[in-house]
Amino acid sequence: MRKINYKNFGIVLFTILFSLTACEKFLDLEPPFSQDADNYFTEPSHYELALIGAYDLLQGSFMNLWIGEIASDNSIAGGESVTDSQGLHEIEAMTHGSVNRELRSVFQWNYAGIARANFILENKNNIDFDGKSQIIAEATFLRAYYYFQLVKYFGDVPLVIDKRLGADEVTEIERSSKEDVYAQIESDLNFAASNLNAVNPVKGRVNKWAALALLGKVQLYQNKFAESAASLDQVINSMQYSLIADYRNLFVVGNEGHSEVVFDVQYSGLEGGGYGCLICLEGNAAPGFQGIRQYNGPIYGDGNSYNLPTQDLYDSFEAADNIRRDATVLNLDSFINQQPNATSITYAIGGGGHTGFYNNKYIKKQGEIGLPDNDLTSPVNNIVVRYADVLLMAAEAHNRSNNDAQALLYLNEVRARVNLAPISAGGQSLTEAIWSERRYELSGEGHRFFDLVRTGKAATEINGFQTGKHELFAIPQIEISLAGGNWNQNSGY
Amino acid sequence: MMKNLILFASILFIGSNLFAQEGTVTGKIKGQDGLSIPGASVVEKGTTNGVATDIDGNYTIKVSNIKTAILQFSYLGYATQNIAVAGREKIDITLAEATTDIDEVVVVGYGTSTKKTLTGATSQVGGEDVEKLNVARVDQALQGQVSGVAINTNSGSPGGASSIRIRGLSTFGDNDPLILVDGVVYDSEGLNALNPSDIASVNVLKDASAGIYGVRAANGVIIIETKKGALNSAPRVEFSGYYGVQNTARRLDLLNATEYAVIKNEALGSSGKPLPFNNTALGEGTDWQDEIFQSAMIQNYNFSVLGGNKSSTYSAGVSYFTQDGIVGGDKSNFERYNARLNLGNQLNEKFKLNSVILYTNEERRALPENGIGSVLYNTINAFPNEPVRTADGRYSYLEEVTDIINPLAQIENSENLSSTNKIVGKEELIYKINDNFTFTNRVNYNYAAVDFKSFSPLVWYGPGKAQNTALNANLDPTQVEIADSVFIERGAGVFESRSTFVDVTAESYLNYERIFNEDHSVKGTFGVSVFKRYGEQLNGSAFNIPGNSVDFADISANLAPGGFLNNTGSFEYEERLLSTFFRGEYGYKGKYLASLIVRRDGSSKFGPNNRFGTFPTISAAWLISEEEFFKLKKITFAKLRASYGISGNDQIQNFAYRAQLDGEGVYVFNDVIVQGVAIGRASNPDLRWESTRQFNLGLDLVVGDNFNITTNYFIKNTKDLLFQPEVSAVLGTNGPGGQSPIVNAGDVSNKGIELELAYYSDRQKELKYSVSFNTTYLRNEVLKTPEGVEFIPGAAFGVGGGVATRFEEGYAIGYFHGFETDGVFQSQEEIENAAVKQEGAKPGDLRFVDQNGDGVISFNDDSDRKEIGSAIPDFTFGFNVSLEYKNFDFSMNVFSAVGQEIIRNYERQQPFANQLDYVIDRWVGTGTSNENPRVTDEANRNGEFSDYFVENGSFMRIKNMQIGYTLPENLTKKIKSNSIRFYVAVNNLLTVTKYRGFDPEIGSAGGPLAAGVDYGFYPQARTVMGGFNFKF
């Protein structure tokens, strides 16, 4: 009896065990309703969808609006306290070092954009379909844009092209020289310019002229004046763009996509968000952050008092230039005093600094407010390349490649729009005039610091700027460590 | 014929005589109180022959040999007695209540053992001890009861969960132990579903003997058994309940209106701004704490019955529990209905069927808590000079600080309700193959449906408040542009979700038990286990709820034009585990015990490269007191134990080994948000489980009859920690929805000593008492971080501030990292003459210590920051006393934790936010204070994270004190009751601490790296309650 039981039992157990161990497939689960990163790009829509992902990182551009201004003589960091976005306060004071959250964001976000563009480009030969060359050209443009940000901020940076890096490869990659990075950017932009259509009917997607304008800028940053002039002239001669009549309407939501926009970053007010992940926002963080602190009054909305223009900027405008001055810098108390109910209008002063001025280009306004928390969800697009900038860059490129006549033509076109008398200088004094004009025309748009560095004026204009050090920001120390610790830090840090 | 019969009878007689002299023994079992004990067990020793006593405590058992048989009499809570029959046919026994419980049966994984023969380090808590504490959740009852187990309440709000840590934090991620209730897997959140009165026993496997659960055992295992009936026992009916009133045990010392006005005038005046208060004589002003805290009820009622007949046992119960919050009252309510049925059926000689079914309905309302923006955070920071409501009846706006809103308005506008229906069950078929083999097959399941709804009305908290959902004070809805220049209204919103969570475990195992040649006892367990867990959710949100009213808060009622703003979402997941396990135990002469456990687990969490893992454990014990040479008469029992083993932790996200397109690739084309794809988390095909190697050395002693000592020393090293360290930006994972790959990197060590002492007085005497004490010393250290990662950042300090806690080599997990202060600068002269340059310092500012000796305080790197605290206590103590005298009983439980620190992070560092009154003793001029800095709204560095914000978090708390009275028996009998007891109790009577916040016992709701960061913790209430317990 007993023996039989043993046997029976053995058979039962063995059967169960065997069927289970044979069923190691039991553990082969597939993630429900999601796709693997490998084995993608099997149909045209995949390229389109991945391209949207690559565009997404453009939305970190509000950081350029902050750093490009705060690092310069144009504005102070502001905010709730000196420890609120401490990195920006350090940049304002030129005490920034290798530990700086905002600078690290710039480093991280642009590489994320590059990785997403590379994800498409490494798979560009998988299939063929109509419209592929546009998508590939747009991805190439985006990669160039992201590398340009990196090289402007950090100089030499690692160059990853057409592939995704594995975690183990990252410790072996070196910083490529600035020259190599620029060469790659130019090559990408040339490719993009020759493959992109002249007109892209979808608002927000780049066209041939955006690529050429960015190329002209990249060339100007390398002092390749003749090449820059040639690139920018193509944009100007395309007759696709013109200055709009009223300077004050440049940054109004209702007027977006106007004739002066060569390349802008698109934002929407239709998705909420949190402070924990600014790069996840679909809204533009700049207008809300740059809004008037606890403001209760007409026209504007309340915000976080970031990136406050300086008295120096306000005073620098010539008297006749009041259109641009007032459209660029909001003199808050003077504005309030002009309102009929001035005494009932209130606002607060942030602990991070107060100048009495607010950035009037990117500022939270009633009627342009996104979903709550609306400090984070402004629908205002960030115009990265504006036609006036193209004209001024072209003017500078011509002037510095000995074509003052053409330069004056472009410069005075910009001045005429705001009813300023033409300039008739030449040579170096024309160069100086163009550089000054850039400040009056483009302040508040994130160009100033990089212009000052590029033109060698930073040390004279920015308090605390040390030549030989502050032209570049420090590579975030942690990024050096995470990449194996082999990179040299930028000089002076 | 007659002859034949006689022959036959004599053959029978001779035949039976040849083998044994069969006989029948009868008798009665009583307790020392003279009452009979039904359901006690009588077993012929060395056999499986056994019976249970009937309702009157009588038994009848046939024994194989009436001369040599030994009968073993046992009943839970009583000392087991072995009596040689020696030919007697009637044996009456009086069982003594157990004082030492070394013979107590302990449920271990896939089998049972006794305390005497266990080779691993475990701790037990009896059901009575759990019930007595009158807590909402069983884990709260474990605090201070056993060594090595740290229970921290993550929130004092009703229904709030606890964090359970066995022998310290061993990982960066999920530190929860595996919790099994009647073999069914629970998560710590799910413990809410369990009624503490239903619990029969809790056993905590602390050391490597937990390895029988393999890849899920690294954080220890808690095995909970619910109450079951006994064979042949009369129904025992029990009805119990309590009602209590809760109040906050603590209020913060905040500034009143006058003090506030003076301080704020000084702060703003110091930077040359106009003084905000012309008149500072504002009296006391509003005490926001008075407004927010309230008395709240708590009540609980249980009805249960258990018993059994000769072939089946039952235990059934229903219970109701409800608790309002001391903040928010019924807006912070937790309610639970619970029904339970445990059945045991002896189908025939060979088969037994056990069934457990538990149904729970839980409803929980919650307010925003434990964070910036929580109700208590707003309460602390609200201005005392503002009334709760203005003259025209609206809530005051607290305008001067943007992100502080009126906490009462916040409560009024918070509507969150989650409702859970849960069924947990087990069907177990035990096949007793023969005396040695038992084959168990069971299916355990857990089904929970969770409905959640939150309503967000249009609300205006004041100008500039981020929490505003309306456009203005008239509650006009915001306008949303849904396409170029197309605007629609966005009114009140509702979010609803319905989630289902299911898990099923199917297990088959064979137990073998045999004693060879009297001296060699062998036990074996071999089995397989298949586990599957899946869940899904469907959720939706809708806007424009009519009337801005919670009465219409349902998606179906929405009036959003065209439904344009409404949204839906869903998720689904599944994970599986496939396991085989073996345990072999060998004992020689009851003196030397050894055990080997091997478990092999396959987990769907890992890729094909590393799907299977094998986890071995060895342990041994030596019962020194059984040795002949052992001559210490005072010590009646001594056991030395050692164990070593490897267990795993697989608690990470599913599919972490592969890269998926689940990142966020969203952009705006033609003014419309368009969805693209992006890589989410980067892949790591070599991902594997964390492994914990644990060594334990323990000693169990019993001195005399009634003094137990248990001590353990352990080293627990966790390797291959699963976490997501930062990776180089060049990998491109820092975009929206991007994540670093999960990697195995980092080691953590926990070392500690545990001591448990328990003394029970003589049960025969009129005054009975017992005293127990336990303590744990723990040292936690991170041994390794991933390559290139100096530290993993944890919780932030303040708003937009730096990282205050870290995971870093050489320090405890989540230690605090910041500046050390050295008093306050008293004068400009002192600043100028200081050897260390502190940029921007003014008289009255905190003086920081130059750690690297370079003569400058560096604010923008780490060179002058250091370790300034840790949330992990050095020592914890538990102390429990109970007394019984005549009809009175008294008990008290004390818990204490010493050596931990807390970050005071509930003060908004803002010019107008209210503050604790220590600021009154601020620096106002040379020599006035060397502790508290000046108050100013000038730019300063006093808000940098420093030891100024770190407080001593040590505390001692009387968790429960109870006095009961049992009615005299003669009275009780008149209403046919066995026992009637009434009691009054106080939970959380007294807390001794220097900590200035609400409650020093703050958990780690934000994970191990956020432990010890106080955002305005929802404190545990002080509860005064009265209760009763009727037994029939």
SS (H, E, C) chain A: CHHHHHHHHHHHHHHHHHHHHCCHHHHCCCCCCCCECCCCCCCHHHHHHHHHHHHHHHHHHHHHHHHHHHCCCCEEEECCCCCCCHHHHHHHCCCCCCCCHHHHHHHHHHHHHHHHHHHHHCCCCCCCCCCHHHHHHHHHHHHHHHHHHHHHHHCCECCCCCCCCCCCHHHCCCCECHHHHHHHHHHHHHHHHHHCCCCCCCCCCCCHHHHHHHHHHHHHHCCCHHHHHHHHHHHHHCCCCCCCCCHHHCCCHHHCCCCCEEEEECCCCCCCCCCCCHHHCCCEHHHHHCCEECCECCCECEECCEEEECHHHHHHCCHHHHHHHHHHEEEHHHHHHCCCCHHHCECCCCCCCCCCEEECCCCCECCCCCCCCCCCCECCCEEEEEHHHHHHHHHHHHHHCCCHHHHHHHHHHHHHHCCCCCCCCCHHHHHHHHHHHHHHHHCCCCCHHHHHHHCCCHHHHCCCCCCCCCCCCCCCHHHHHHCCCCCCCCCCC
Which of A380, A413, A428 is the endpoint of a domain?
A: A380
Strand-pair category, A306-309 with A75-78: antiparallel
- Closest CB to B481 among A269, A478, A479: A269
Q: What is the DSSP letter of B470?
A: B
Chain B residue with minimal CA distance to A56? B667
Question: What CATH number is given to the structural domain containing A130?
Answer: 1.25.40.390
The band of B34, judged by pLDDT with boundaries at 50, 70 and 90, is: low
pTM above 0.90, yes or no: no
Q: Note the pLDDT of residue A14.
A: 53
Which tens digit of pLDDT belongs to each residue from B408-437?
999 999 999 999 999 999 999 999 888 899
Q: What is the largest CA-CA distance in chain B?
A: 128
Mean per-residue pLDDT, B378-400: 91
Note whether A271 and B673 are within 8 A (CB).
yes
Q: Determine the average pLDDT of the residues in B383-392.
A: 92
Q: What was the pLDDT predicted at B155?
A: 78
The residue of A48, A52, A308 whose CB has the most chain B CBs within 10 angstroms, and thus the best one to mutate to test that interface, is A52
Same domain for A190 and A49, yes or no, is yes
Say if residue B890's pLDDT is above 60. yes
Q: Which of B151, B134, B152 is nearest to B142 (CA)?
A: B151
Dihedral, CA of residue A97, residue A99, residue B845 and residue A351, to nearest 10: 90
A192 and A277 both lie in a single domain: no
Choosing among B600, B728, B733, which should be mutated to test the A contact, i.e. which has the most A CBs within 10 A? B728
**Are the beta carbons of A280 and B737 separated by less than 8 Å?**
yes
For B809, how many CA atoms within 13 A lie in the half-sphere containing its CB? 11
Residue A75 lies in a domain: yes
Instruction: Classify residue A36: in a domain, yes or no.
Output: no
C-alpha distance from A483 to closest chain B C-alpha (Å): 6
Task: Answer whether residue B47 is part of any domain.
Answer: yes
Cβ–Cβ gap B463/A293 under 8 Å = no
Give the nearest partner residue to B860 out of A48, A99, A296, using CB atoms.
Answer: A99
Are A51 and A186 found together in one domain?
yes
Q: Do the Cβ atoms of A83 and B802 come within 8 Å?
A: yes
How many angstroms separate the Cα of B653 from the Cα of each of A31, B450, B692? 11, 21, 19
Show the CA angle centred on residue A137, arms to residues A132 and A142, nearest 5°: 130
Q: Are residues A291 and A175 in the same domain?
A: no
Contacts of B798 in chain A (CB under 8 A): 83
pLDDT at res. B20: 52
A154 in the same domain as A57: yes
> Which residues in chain A show pLDDT less than 50?
1-7, 10
Residues A140, A46 within the same domain = yes
Domain count of the fold of chain A: 2
Q: Would residue B27 count as lying in a domain? A: yes
Nearest CA to B682 out of B734, B736, B733 is that of B733
Q: Mean pLDDT throughout B630-637?
A: 87
Cα separation, B423 vs A153, whole angstroms? 59
Least confident of A389-398, B225-234, B522-531: B225-234
Instruction: Tell if the CB–CB gap between A29 and B654 is shorter than 8 Å.
Output: yes
CA dist B916 and B904 (Å) reads 11
Instruction: Verify whether the Cβ–Cβ distance B439 to A160 is below 8 Å.
Output: no
Look-up: residue for tokens 């914990």?
B692
Last residue of a domain, one of A380, A414, A435: A380
Residues on chain A touching B611 (C-beta within 8 angstroms)? 24, 27
Best mutation site among B668, B808, B854, B942 for testing chain A: the one with the most A CBs within 10 Å?
Answer: B668
Whole-number Å distance between alpha carbons of A455 and B142: 70
Tokens of B17: 């005589």
- Give the HSE-up count for residue B522: Cα atoms under 13 Å, Cβ half-sphere: 9
Contact across the interface for B788 and A32, Cβ inside 8 Å: no
pLDDT of B327-342, one tens digit each?
988 899 999 999 999 9
Nearest chain A residue to B473, by CA: A296
User: What are the tokens at B930?
Assistant: 């060397």
CA–CA min distance B721, chain A (Å): 17
Q: Given this model, what pLDDT does residue B478 score?
A: 83
Element of type H or E holding B315 = strand B312-325
Residue A342 lies in a domain: yes
Closest CA to B312 of B232, B430, B198: B232
**What pLDDT digit, counting tens, does each position of B761-776 carry?**
877 788 989 999 999 9
Q: Which residues of A touch B942 (CB under 8 A)?
A: none
What pLDDT is recorded for position B100?
53
Domain containing residue A306: 267-380
Chain A partners within 8 Å of B678 (Cβ): 50, 53, 56, 116
The answer to whether residue B72 sits within a structural domain is yes
Confidence of residue B454 (pLDDT cuts 50, 70, 90): very high
- The per-residue pLDDT for range B253-298, each reduced to its tens digit, is 999 999 999 999 998 888 788 888 988 889 999 999 999 999 999 9
Q: Tell me the two tokens of residue A179.
A: 């020259």
B829: in domain: yes
Question: Is the distance from CB of B229 to CB of B306 less than 8 angstroms?
Answer: yes
Per-residue pLDDT averaged across B464-493, rounded?
Answer: 83
- The pLDDT, as a whole number, for residue A12 is 62
Q: Are residues A141 and A51 in the same domain?
A: yes
Put simply, the answer to whether B909 touches A83 (Cβ < 8 Å) is: yes
**How many domains is chain B built from?**
2
Across the interface, which of B508, B611, B658 has its CB nearest the CB of A13? B508
Tens digit of each residue's pLDDT (9 = 90 or more) over B76-131: 767 778 888 888 888 888 887 665 566 777 888 888 888 888 898 888 888 888 88
Closest by Cβ to B659, choosing from A36, A46, A48:
A36
Distance of residue B404 Cα from the nearest chain A Cα, in angstroms: 12
Any domain includes B498? no
Which residues, at least 6 apart from A361, have a Cβ–Cβ distance to it below 8 Å? A250, A251, A327, A328, A444, A445
Closest of B1025, B655, B933, B376 to residue A27, by C-alpha? B655
Cβ contact B665–A36 (<8 Å): no
Structure tokens, A328: 């660029």
Task: Tell me which of A346, A365, A380 is where a domain ends.
Answer: A380
Tell me which chain A residue has its CA closest to the CA of residue B730: A111
DSSP letter, residue B886: T
A459 within some domain = no
B692: distance to nearest CA of chain A, Å? 23
Contact by Cβ (8 Å): A292, A304: no
Q: How far apart are CA B664 and CA A469, in angstroms?
A: 37
Identity of the residue numbered B488: I
Burial (CB count within 10 angstroms: exposed 0-12, middle 13-18, buried 19+), residue B561: exposed
Scanning the structure block, which residue is given the tokens 């929405």? Answer: B558
Q: Indicate if A181 and A318 belong to the same structural domain.
A: no
- Looking at the DSSP bridge assignments, the partners of residue B627 are none
| Residue B727 to residue A167, Cβ atoms within 8 A | yes
Q: Which residue of B has its CA nearest to A380?
A: B671
DSSP tag of B190: G
Name which of A56, A165, A374 is nearest B666 (Cβ-Cβ): A56
Sign for the CA dihedral angle at A357, A358, A361, A364 comes to negative
Contact check, Cβ <8 Å, B728/A482:
yes
Q: Closest approach of chain B CAs to the CA of A437, in angstroms?
A: 32
In a domain, B840, yes or no: yes
Distance between CA atoms of B544 and B560, rounded to whole angstroms? 5
Chain A residues with CB-CB distance to B684 below 8 A: 167
Q: Are strands B50-52 and B41-44 parallel, antiparallel or unpaired?
A: antiparallel
- Phi-psi region at B188: left, alpha or beta (left = phi > 0; alpha = psi -120 to 50): alpha
Q: Which of A100, A108, A168, A382 to mutate to test the interface with B (most CBs of B within 10 A)?
A: A108
Locate the chain B residue with the closest alpha carbon to A278: B736
Task: Establish how many alpha carbons lie within 13 A of residue A78's alpha carbon, considering only the half-sphere containing its beta carbon.
Answer: 30
Which domain-ending residue is among B75, B95, B115?
B95
Span B604-621, pLDDT tens digits: 988 888 899 999 999 999
Residue that is last in its domain, among B52, B67, B95: B95
pLDDT tens digits for range B948-996: 999 999 999 999 999 999 998 888 888 888 889 999 999 999 999 999 9
Q: What residues of A are in contact with residue B802 (Cβ under 8 Å)? A: 83, 86
Per the domain annotation, does B1026 fall within a domain?
no
Cα distance between residue B462 and residue B468, in whole Å: 8
pLDDT score recorded for residue B800: 60
Question: How far apart (Å, rounded) are the C-alpha atoms in residues B116 and B710?
Answer: 12
Calpha distance B884→B881 (Å, rounded): 10
Among residues B95, B119, B142, the one where a domain terminates is: B95
Amino acid letter for position B862: D
Q: Is residue A70 part of a domain?
A: yes
Q: How many beta-carbon contacts under 8 Å exist across A and B?
A: 303
How would DSSP label each residue in B157-176? STT--EEEEESS---SS--P
3-state SS, B253-292, equals CECCHHHHHHHHHHHHHCCCCCCCCCCCCCCCCCCHHHHH
Interface contact flag, B580 A96, Cβ < 8 Å: no
Interface test with A, best of B487, B860, B945 (most A CBs within 10 A): B860
Residues A51 and A173 in one domain: yes
User: Nearest residue of A to residue B526 by CA position?
Assistant: A13
Give A441's contacts (C-beta < 8 A, 6+ positions apart): A324, A388, A389, A392, A414
| Cβ atoms B997, B251 nearer than 8 A | no
Q: In Å, how far are A100, B126, B510, B688 from A21, measured between CA atoms?
A: 53, 39, 17, 20
Tokens of B190: 């799910």
Based on the fold, state whether residues A188 and A316 are members of the same structural domain.
no
A188 and A275 belong to one structural domain: no
The answer to whether position A60 is within a domain reads yes
**Contact residues on chain A for B944, CB-CB shorter than 8 A:** 83
Cα B774 to chain centroid, rounded: 18
| Interface residue of B442, B443, B677, B845 to substitute, partner A, most A CBs within 10 Å | B677
The domain spanning residue B55 has which CATH number?
Answer: 2.60.40.10
| Six token digits for residue A97 | 């070092």
Which residue would you say has higher pLDDT here, B1004 or B887? Answer: B887
Domain that holds residue B59: 22-95
Question: Has residue B438 been placed in a domain?
Answer: no
Query: Which percentage of chain B shows pLDDT scores above 90?
Result: 51
Give the span between the Cα atoms of A21 and A373, in whole angstroms. 54
Q: What are phi and psi of B802, to 5 degrees?
A: -80, 175
